[in-house]
Chains A and B, each alone.
Chain A
Amino acid sequence: MSLWRSIKFGLSSLLHGARHVQEIDDEVKQFYEEAAVAYRERGLSEQDARRAVRLDLGSPEVAGQQVRSYGWENTVTSFAADIRFAGRQLRRNPGFTAISVVTLALGIGTSTAIFSAINPILFKPLPYPHPGRILMIWSTWQGSRSEMAFGTWLELSHRSHSFESTAIFEPWQPTMTSRDEPQRLEGQSVSARFFQALGVTPLLGRDFRSSDEGPRAPKVVILSDRLWRQRFRGDRGVIGQALKLDGDNYTIIGVMPPGFDDVLSPSAELWAPDEYDSSQITREFNSSEWGNHLRMVGRLRPGASQVDARQELAGIARVPWSEFPRPRWASLERGLIVDSLQDDIAHTVKPALLAVFGAVIIVLAIASVNVINLLLARSARRVGEFAVRGALGASRHRIVRQLVTESMLLTLIGGALGIMTAVAGVRLIVFLSPSELPRLNAITFDLEAFLFASVLIAIIGFVAGTVPALHIARNDLQSGLQNASRRIAGTHLWTRRFLVVAEISLAFVLLVSASLLLRSMQRLLAVDPGFRPSHVLTMQVVTSGHQFDEVPANPSGADRRRRFFDEALEAVRHVPGVESASFTSLLPLSDDSPVAGQYGAQFEDQKSQSGYNVFRYAVSPGYCQTMAIPLISGRFLGEQDSQGAPQAALISESLARRHFGNRNPVGSRLHVGPRDRPWYTVVGVVGDVKQTSLSIDQEDAVYLSTRQTWFADDALSFVIRARGNAATLVPRVKSAIWFVDRDQPIVRLITMDRLVAISEAQRRFILILFETFGIVALLLAAVGLYGVISGSVAERIHEIGVRMALGATRNDILVLALRDGMRLTAFGVGIGLFGAFAASRGIASLLFGTSELDPVSWLCMLATLGSVTVLACWVPAWRGARVDPSSALRSE
């Protein structure tokens, strides 16, 4: 009813604005004329009648305005007028507008980009149905997460009732052979209910069944949508076709949907059922079913809570059942670690991400404060203008609304540019981010990021609009007119001073954090990796094919494998430019799994239940020489340590010190891995090598010759020391290896220098972000300080003139202004010290070899901040000191 009419009338008056106004004016005019006629009828003269009407009814203009301001459309038109006026104002001050807009755009853009990056990792639900019901279950080793054995999973899945389905999985990197170069694919070996646990089903074909599992089941595989499209051009008839992987024919039984995002292995292209044999869960514990190399995922039953599941699993871990025997290394006596899938994939990066997010919010705060400062300075200059407008009849409400509209418009433009910056920033982050960042392919600029940016824009626009407006409302418009624009209202400066102090303290917080991270990076890069990475090229060579299988039907498989690697190494050694070449089963600082590379070691004089966890390096005899790992005592491995010869081992210095103290370990004997094999004799001690990270001191290691280990590794990393540039050797080395066997894939070609660098990629990434934010914060704070000091100098120009007339030197004036700025800086730093202390606690887990209170970092940043702020104050101070006293006084 009336709503519709109201909209209709409003729209029509909007559309025919001029006619609408004319009609109202006509009506008002007619009203007054009729009134005048009425007076004339009572006998007044024409002129007297008009005067009487005026007196009686007031001004027709005011009446007309009252009528015109009725209706919702009126708000729209006056708002549009405000916007137009604000636009003109901003255009008239291009410098101010550009600086504010760019500052806001950068602030909003970077924080939105960072938000987009952390949102899928920390906040956004995983792309599965009821993602909160998916849990990860780990065994515990040294208090942290550790992979579990097939036997452990079998026991847990039998005894637990909290789960709808559970599954185990491990990486699987099959080689696909065809007419082209052999290609190694990234995949996962999973138990049958893996996809059920995640809650997804194949788009084409079928899911795995329990009959697909085990060593004797026919080999089947499910493909990712990407692989299906690349390899089979999206052919729907692919189900049932064969795919040759590692020399076996796998039948394709399914294709996953295009949107399927395997957060447990983001680069996985294909999945096959595991081949563990539940009949091998025996009390001998020497089958691969008892190796701790599986991860476990489970989906809770509807209604079961995470707490219940955790309690139930803890109970199972505590009380073994006799029908489920457990070996020493899978005793579960330290319990299990249970966590939601979301928290699990985020737990390693969470502190870093939150720190980066905090840092970017600080930058945003400084940027916004700067813009508010600029707005305050501007509205201070416009006091005269507002006074004139007030005198001409604009209400205070109207002027405040105008100011808020201007700030809002500014923020909106800055925000729009900021969103564009964010879209570009997200791409940059994805490009720069370390590959170990989880959910990398889910990082996009999405609706949530847009909403985040919009909320930021709204908050900043509101604050930036109200703070200057409050000042206007408080200052009497009349006194503003009297003072014209000569004297800047003091309250503005007080607010601006306060804001600048806040900026300086926030900038100090960021600077100290960035500096602590920088010091950590320096300390880290100064860590000796234990080998000489320069001029070393590495590549992983993988053997694939049944000729290498170590099965009863093929007794010489292992020998064949060893022979292939030896021949390939010999071929590489003959490549011109190669100084020396060797191989190792475990490459330091690479992504080789540290869990898979670790074995129990037990010296002859140790009890059966004790031992050490050591890295087992199966190497060619010259490996330590090629890597330049120093010999501490004894001898290196040599050609004499061959098959059939007494088994020789090198141990690392840390292991030697741990077990032997000052005694000489050479000549002592130990077992590595299975105990039912001949003893290894220590023939030498070599220097410690960082295996997993430069920051981790986990260096107990044993080096064995590949010819004397109990199994032949199927993938070895070649390390090639070049005479010149290592990278130029790549094509020749590759063709040398493929000359021996063209079906063996070569992966992870990289120089050792590069490998060392990317092993700290995540740390470096965070450092770069913090450094950037710190510098930006410093610059913004300096600009803010500069603005306030020049404002205060301008305000005191008269005072300066008086002082100079009374005999103050230029130096005195300079000191006066500088002291002002330094006082603000001191306040800012004083407050910042507390903030920085809190922040350094927050990033403590990201530091390496650097105390949170590292004096060098703190003092350096104090000095940096101090000198930059001195510079920012010096320019306006100098300008103030050059004021000509007579002209300053005359301008009064």
Chain B
Amino acid sequence: MNEPNTDVIQGTLDLLILKTVSLEPLHGFGIARRVEQVSRGVFKVNPGSLLTALQRLERAGWLDSEWCTTEHSRRAKFYTLTRAGRKQLEIEEADWTRRASAVARLLRQEA
């Protein structure tokens, strides 16, 4: 029972979603698959949390959504980044970089 932890780091789900959607409009599963693939399986997003986060981001005005047809000719809800979303992405990216490098520096220091 020693499976690796695949939970998304607390507080980074929004950043991951915004970044993923910034490349092209995607539906829920598309986002989940992209996150899993790009992270090479380090992060796995469960559908309940993901779809709830999408609702939240949409309400915050960072995403827009529209029902369209997928490549498998199914109807799916596609999310696109809004202008406010792009700004938010920049803020969160900068914030993350700042914090991650701080953590990295702390880990690098000699005992």
Name A's B-contacting residues (CB within 8 A): 1-2, 5-6, 9, 23-24, 26-28, 30-35, 37-38, 57-58, 60, 62-67, 70-71
Q: Which residue in A23, A31, A62, A65 is a CB contact (below 8 Å) of B28?
A: A31
Binds A, one of B8-16, B68-76, B100-108: B68-76
Chain B residues positioned under 8 Å from A71 (CB to CB):
55, 59
**Are B76 and A38 within 8 A (Cβ)?**
no
- Min CB distance, B57 to chain A, in Å? 10
**Are A63 and B46 within 8 A (Cβ)?**
yes
**With A35-B29, A57-B46 as contacts: A2 and B51 at CB distance below 8 Å:** no
Chain A residues positioned under 8 Å from B46 (CB to CB):
57-58, 63
**Are A31 and B61 within 8 A (Cβ)?**
no
- Min CB distance, A42 to chain B, in Å? 12
Chain A residues positioned under 8 Å from B32 (CB to CB):
31
Chain B residues positioned under 8 Å from A24 (CB to CB):
51
**Are A9 and B51 within 8 A (Cβ)?**
no
Cβ proximity bits B20-60 to A, threshold 8 Å, 1 near / 0 not:
00000001111011000000000000111101100110111
**Are A66 and B48 within 8 A (Cβ)?**
yes
Cβ proximity bits B59-95 to A, threshold 8 Å, 1 near / 0 not:
1110000000010101111000000100000000000
Chain A residues positioned under 8 Å from B47 (CB to CB):
28, 31-32, 57-58, 60, 63
- Total count of chain B residues near the partner, CB < 8 A: 25
- Min CB distance, B52 to chain A, in Å? 5
16 cross-chain CB contacts under 8 A:
A1-B84, A2-B61, A6-B59, A9-B59, A23-B77, A27-B76, A27-B77, A28-B51, A30-B27, A30-B29, A30-B77, A34-B70, A58-B48, A66-B52, A67-B48, A70-B52
Starting from the known contacts A30-B75, A31-B32, A67-B48, 12 additional A-B residue pairs (CB-CB under 8 Å) come to A5-B59, A6-B60, A9-B59, A24-B51, A27-B28, A30-B29, A33-B74, A38-B29, A58-B46, A58-B47, A66-B51, A70-B55
CA distance A5 to B48 in the complex (A): 22
Residue of A nearest to B27 (CB): A30
- Min CB distance, A794 to chain B, in Å? 46
CA distance A57 to B46 in the complex (A): 6
CA distance A23 to B28 in the complex (A): 13
**With A1-B61, A9-B59, A27-B77 as contacts: A38 and B33 at CB distance below 8 Å:** yes
- Min CB distance, B106 to chain A, in Å? 33
Chain A residues positioned under 8 Å from B49 (CB to CB):
66
- Min CB distance, B54 to chain A, in Å? 9
CA distance A67 to B54 in the complex (A): 9
CA distance A26 to B74 in the complex (A): 11
Name B's A-contacting residues (CB within 8 A): 27-30, 32-33, 46-49, 51-52, 55-56, 58-61, 70, 72, 74-77, 84
**Are A70 and B27 within 8 A (Cβ)?**
no
CA distance A64 to B49 in the complex (A): 10
**Are B55 and A67 within 8 A (Cβ)?**
yes
CA distance A27 to B27 in the complex (A): 9
Q: Which residue in B48, B72, B77 is a CB contact (below 8 Å) of A63?
A: B48
Q: Which residue in B28, B56, B58, B60 is a CB contact (below 8 Å) of A30?
A: B28
**Are A62 and B48 within 8 A (Cβ)?**
yes
Q: Which one of A5, A26, A34, A63 has the greatest number of beta carbons of chain B within 10 Å? A: A34
CA distance A145 to B46 in the complex (A): 82
Residue of A nearest to B51 (CB): A67
Residue of A nearest to B74 (CB): A30
Chain B residues positioned under 8 Å from A66 (CB to CB):
48-49, 51-52
CA distance A23 to B67 in the complex (A): 10
CA distance A63 to B47 in the complex (A): 6
Chain A residues positioned under 8 Å from B76 (CB to CB):
27, 30, 34
Q: Which residue in A26, A31, A60 is a CB contact (below 8 Å) of B29?
A: A31
**Are A5 and B51 within 8 A (Cβ)?**
no
CA distance A58 to B33 in the complex (A): 16
Q: Which one of B55, B75, B84 has the greatest number of beta carbons of chain A within 10 Å? A: B55
Q: Which residue in A32, A34, A38, A60 is a CB contact (below 8 Å) of B27?
A: A34
CA distance A734 to B10 in the complex (A): 96
Residue of A nearest to B62 (CB): A2
**With A62-B48, A67-B51 as contacts: A2 and B59 at CB distance below 8 Å:** yes
Chain B residues positioned under 8 Å from A30 (CB to CB):
27-29, 74-77
CA distance A26 to B75 in the complex (A): 9
CA distance A34 to B59 in the complex (A): 25
**With A9-B59, A28-B47 as contacts: A37 and B72 at CB distance below 8 Å:** yes
Chain B residues positioned under 8 Å from A31 (CB to CB):
27-29, 32, 47, 51
Chain B residues positioned under 8 Å from A62 (CB to CB):
48
CA distance A31 to B26 in the complex (A): 12
Chain A residues positioned under 8 Å from B77 (CB to CB):
23, 26-27, 30
Residue of A nearest to B70 (CB): A34
Chain B residues positioned under 8 Å from A64 (CB to CB):
48
Chain A residues positioned under 8 Å from B28 (CB to CB):
27, 30-31
CA distance A62 to B76 in the complex (A): 20
Q: Which one of A6, A31, A57, A66 has the greatest number of beta carbons of chain B within 10 Å? A: A31
